[in-house]
Amino acid sequence: MITEAESVVMEALWAQKRPLAAEEVIAAVANQGWQEATVKTLLNRLLTKKAIRAERDGRRYLYSPVLKREAWVLEESETLLERVFGGRVAPLVAHFSRHRKLSRKDIAELRQLLEELGDDKR
């Protein structure tokens, strides 16, 4: 499981279409206010979890994701749904609806999705 801090590093790696050196990762997550050692620790943790790989490039390493963002999002969303909403989507949507966290655009997109799902059942 990827921690919240590790996910920030993963997002930086997913955003690029090429491997990054540690210095580039550090620059990409600079808005977090982390020390260089913190970012390198996070990179090492991700290597241990096999979420990323490192390839030697002269005297440095270049890091790239092994874990696909789509796979991570699926795992995270399924974990949230199971843990908080018993694996059901409707209570999740109801929760956000009750707390006015759905914009008009969100509602329109949900309606469109439901219509498309309904069309698939026919």
- Domain ranges in the chain? 4-65, 69-121
Please count the other Cβ atoms lying within 10 Å of the Cβ belonging to residue 12: 21
pLDDT at 58: 96
pTM above 0.85, yes or no: no
pLDDT of 99: 85
What radius of gyration do the chain's Cα atoms show?
Answer: 19
CB within 8 Å of 49: residues ≥ 6 apart? 2, 6
Separation of alpha carbons 68 and 81, rounded Å: 20
Among the four given CATH numbers 1.10.10.10, 2.40.37.20, 3.40.50.300, 3.40.50.10860, the one describing domain 4-65: 1.10.10.10
Q: What is the predicted pLDDT for the residue at 102?
A: 86
Quickly name the fold that domain 69-121 has: Penicillinase repressor fold (1.10.4040)
Q: Using one digit for the tens of pLDDT, what is the confidence trace for 57-97? A: 999 999 999 999 999 999 999 999 999 999 999 998 899 88
Residue 119: pLDDT band (50, 70, 90) is: confident
